[in-house]
Amino acid sequence: MQFLTIASLFAAAAIAAPAPQTSDCPNPAHCGTPSDPSKYENVDITDYTLRKNDSGIQSISFKLSGQNATDILCEVSPFTGFPSKTVTCGSTDPDSGYRFIAIEPKGEGDADIAVYHQTAPFAGKWAEGSVPAYCHAGGLSPDDFICTQVNAYTIVLHQ
């Protein structure tokens, strides 16, 4: 019995031991060649708002800041269902090349977003994500809810 207990402890210690590190790579998560900055883009999402009621989602809006844009508005209203219509962001700068659609959520949220940045004719970067939001009663009725962004959110677009 004591042998099994000691053997189990040694086995658990061996399994829990950290991965071996080499002198040229002390942290394996950060090894390898760095990503090419021309192949990705960090896009910050701010002021995200989703309005919904008993009939479903009514509208989604947020501001987007990326490589070629600062605080451009992305908005779909009225919302007609998933996937939403493709929206060109930035009524003040329609040539920014940023677009988004609302897509079915993959997690617990009401909607995910897919953001696309056209960087050349027939070329661009894109990603999907779920903006963290908190919903509370608001609007014209007790069944009217507004969901607002609770944390900073950056989505990384890739080619």
The pLDDT tens digits of the residues spanning 65-92 come to 988 889 999 999 999 999 999 999 986 6
pLDDT value at residue 42: 93
- Whether 23 is covered by a domain: the verdict is no
Taking only the tens place, the pLDDT of each residue in 24-67 is: 666 655 666 667 777 889 999 999 999 999 889 999 999 999 88
| Within-domain flag for 21 | no
The C-alpha atoms of residue 130 and residue 145 are separated, in whole angstroms, by: 18
| Total number of domains in the chain | 1
pLDDT bucket at 141, cuts 50 / 70 / 90: confident
pLDDT for residue 30: 61
Per-residue pLDDT, averaged over 143-153, amounts to 93
Q: Is residue 35 in a domain? A: no
Please report whether residue 73 resides in a domain. yes
pLDDT, mean of residues 139-143: 78
In a domain, 12, yes or no: no
- Confidence (pLDDT) at 146: 94
What pLDDT, on a 0 to 100 scale, did the predictor assign at position 122? 86
Q: What is the pLDDT of residue 102?
A: 95
78 assigned to some structural domain: yes
Task: Give the CATH number for residue 86.
Answer: 2.40.350.20
Q: 58 lies in which domain range?
A: 40-158
